[in-house]
């Protein structure tokens, strides 16, 4: 492993930042403390510009290299935590009940800060580095909020790079996939409005509990009996809420869930069938069923040439034998896809050990991953905007 010496030397400082962020997690669009730490670091390290409040709590730093080039490369990290109660028992575990960095965004923020400190100290690149600290990645639309507020109009980028930790693997490896890598996602809310009654007189009801149970079963057949089996898609109902007492047949119920896909025609077909199923069951049982479907994540697509360079940058740190471009398709989603939809770039997974997956209350990010991520971020900037003697 060939970590950048400056970053390796700063690893203890990076770990302090990481542990502090982990102990003080903040949910999407509430990352005020985290944003303040990021702002102070970038300012103290001499960034040319530091902008706050981008997309509510996002931070963007602008750093000009020693050359006079006009190219601009973006590096992005997410900052938000999840509404999960931590069970790791770490000495720096979350101090806020019901909030936890169970996806490693505290680590991602620290990785980008480590790269930012090195780039600010050296400025050995010809162009401008744009570091983007994004709020609310976990399904709340943080990337879209930043884009809606003119992220790339205010801070233009020619290309952009993101990164995510991947546990339950082996430290010192990285993987990417050219083209489509992570699924798009739609979330849905279904409201059933029937007729309540006394539980002893169910004949007077239109029982949304029974009808909703039937609806969940029918929804699960949409993918298996309508979507071409060679096209990846998954529909999951994840919540079912109804009822208030032992002796009342409920009048209303809600069902929520998500659909993950890679093909636009597939999600169009699934949405159409969901509408038809809801309308059919409503008519059959004499109740009202409302379906609210909304796209939350686009398909994440890595630009092939830039993916190759990202692999090369990672190989400079980890060795070519430890970096691959054969990552599998992932049915999980990532809103960095929205940024890649406007600016070409790539997104890589940095592997580490651990026994628990992401979004688990026992998840632990290996701190040894931090200088690895920082070094890869820094290498891609220097590789894509090399500083020549003429430029310097």
* Listed residue (327, 346, 349, 351) closest to 336, CA to CA: 346
C-beta neighbour count of 145 within 10 angstroms: 22
Domain boundary among 297, 312, 336: 297
Q: Print burial letters for 118-133: b (CB count within 10 Å at least 16), e (below 16).
A: bbbeebbbbbbbbbbb
316 and 189 in a single domain? The answer is no
128 and 241 in a single domain? The answer is no
Mean pLDDT over each residue of the chain, to the nearest integer:
97
pLDDT tens for each residue of 167-218: 999 999 999 999 999 999 999 999 999 999 999 999 999 999 999 999 999 9
Residues 6+ apart with CB under 8 A from 388: 67, 126
- Distance between CA 100 and CA 148 in Å, rounded? 28
248 and 271 in a single domain? The answer is yes
- The model carries a pTM of 0.94
214 and 142 in a single domain? The answer is no
209 and 282 in a single domain? The answer is yes
75 contacts 62 by C-beta, under 8 angstroms: no
108 is in an annotated binding site: no
Q: Cα 270 vs. chain centroid, distance in angstroms?
A: 24
Domain boundary among 269, 297, 325: 297
51 is in an annotated binding site: no
pLDDT tens for each residue of 307-364: 999 999 999 999 999 999 999 999 999 999 999 999 999 999 999 999 999 999 999 9
Residues 6+ apart with CB under 8 A from 340: 160, 162, 300, 301, 302, 303, 346, 347
Is the pLDDT assigned to residue 392 strictly greater than 80?
Answer: no
CA atoms within 13 A on the CB side of 133: 36
Q: Is residue 358 part of a domain?
A: yes
DSSP three-state, residue 139: coil
End-to-end CA distance of the chain: 29
Q: Which token pair is 383? A: 């590789």
62 and 151 in a single domain? The answer is yes
- Looking up residue 196, the CATH number of its domain turns out to be 3.30.70.360
If you average pLDDT over residues 50-73, what whole number do you get? Answer: 97
138 is in an annotated binding site: yes
22 and 167 in a single domain? The answer is yes
pLDDT tens for each residue of 127-159: 999 999 999 999 999 999 999 999 999 999 999
pLDDT tens for each residue of 95-105: 999 999 999 99
Q: Print burial letters for 70-95: b (CB count within 10 Å at least 16), e (below 16).
A: ebbbbbbbbbbbbebebebeeebbbe
Q: Is residue 390 part of a domain?
A: no
Q: So what's the pLDDT on residue 391?
A: 67
Across the chain, which distance is largest between two alpha carbons, in Å?
A: 87
Q: So what's the pLDDT on residue 49?
A: 98
Q: Is residue 144 part of a domain?
A: yes
163 and 210 in a single domain? The answer is no
Domain boundary among 276, 297, 318: 297
164 is in an annotated binding site: yes
* Listed residue (161, 103, 164, 101) closest to 132, CA to CA: 161
237 is in an annotated binding site: no
192 and 119 in a single domain? The answer is no
User: Which structural domain, as residue segments, surrounds residue 147?
Assistant: 5-182+299-385
170 and 46 in a single domain? The answer is yes
Q: What is the DSSP string of 199-240?
A: TT-GGG-B-HHHHHHHHHHHHHHHHHHHS-TTS-EEEEEEEE
Q: Is residue 72 part of a domain?
A: yes
DSSP three-state, residue 301: strand
84 and 218 in a single domain? The answer is no
DSSP three-state, residue 281: helix
Q: Is residue 391 part of a domain?
A: no
Q: So what's the pLDDT on residue 208?
A: 98
Q: Is residue 348 part of a domain?
A: yes
- Distance between CA 134 and CA 109 in Å, rounded? 9
Q: So what's the pLDDT on residue 389?
A: 72
- Domain total of the chain: 2
Q: Which residue has the tokens 């688990």?
A: 360
Q: So what's the pLDDT on residue 350?
A: 98
Q: Is residue 392 part of a domain?
A: no
- Looking up residue 317, the CATH number of its domain turns out to be 3.40.630.10
Q: What percent of the chain has pLDDT above 90?
A: 98
208 and 161 in a single domain? The answer is no
Q: Is residue 305 part of a domain?
A: yes
């Amino acid at each position: 492993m060939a970590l950048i010496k400056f970053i390796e030397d700063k690893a203890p400082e990076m770990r302090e930042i990481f542990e502090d962020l982990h102990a003080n997690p903040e949910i999407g669009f509430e990352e005020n403390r985290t944003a303040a730490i990021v702002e102070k670091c970038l300012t103290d390290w001499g960034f040319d510009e530091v902008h706050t409040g981008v997309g509510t709590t996002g931070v963007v730093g602008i750093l000009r290299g020693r050359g006079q080039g006009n190219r601009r490369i973006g590096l992005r990290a997410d900052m938000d935590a999840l509404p999960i109660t931590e069970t790791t028992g770490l000495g720096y575990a979350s101090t806020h009940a019901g909030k936890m960095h169970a996806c490693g965004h505290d680590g991602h923020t620290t990785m980008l800060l480590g790269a930012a400190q090195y780039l600010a100290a050296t400025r050995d690149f010809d162009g401008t580095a744009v570091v983007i600290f994004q709020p609310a990645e976990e399904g709340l639309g943080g990337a879209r909020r930043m884009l809606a507020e003119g992220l790339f109009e205010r801070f233009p980028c020619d290309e952009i790079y993101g990164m995510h930790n991947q546990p339950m693997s082996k430290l010192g490896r990285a993987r990417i996939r050219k083209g489509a890598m992570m699924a798009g996602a739609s979330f849905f809310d279904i409201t059933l409005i029937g007729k309540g009654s006394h539980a002893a007189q169910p004949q007077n009801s239109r029982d949304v509990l029974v009808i909703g149970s039937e609806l969940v079963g029918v929804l699960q057949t949409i993918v298996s009996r309508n979507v071409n089996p060679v096209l990846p898609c998954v529909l999951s109902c994840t919540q079912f809420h109804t009822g208030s007492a032992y002796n009342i047949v409920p009048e209303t119920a809600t069902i929520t869930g998500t659909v993950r896909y890679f093909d636009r025609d597939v999600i169009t077909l699934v949405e159409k069938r969901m509408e038809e199923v809801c309308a059919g069951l409503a008519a059959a049982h004499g109740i009202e069923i409302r379906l609210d479907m909304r796209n939350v994540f686009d398909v994440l697509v890595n630009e092939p040439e830039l993916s190759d360079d990202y692999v090369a940058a990672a190989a400079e740190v980890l060795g070519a034998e430890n970096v691959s471009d054969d990552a599998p398709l992932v049915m999980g989603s990532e809103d960095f896809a929205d940024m890649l939809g406007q600016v070409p770039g790539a997104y890589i997974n940095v592997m580490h050990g651990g026994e628990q997956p992401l979004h688990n209350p026992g998840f632990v990010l290996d701190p040894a991953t931090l200088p690895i991520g920082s070094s890869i971020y820094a290498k891609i900037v220097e590789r894509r905007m090399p500083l020549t003697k003429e430029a310097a």
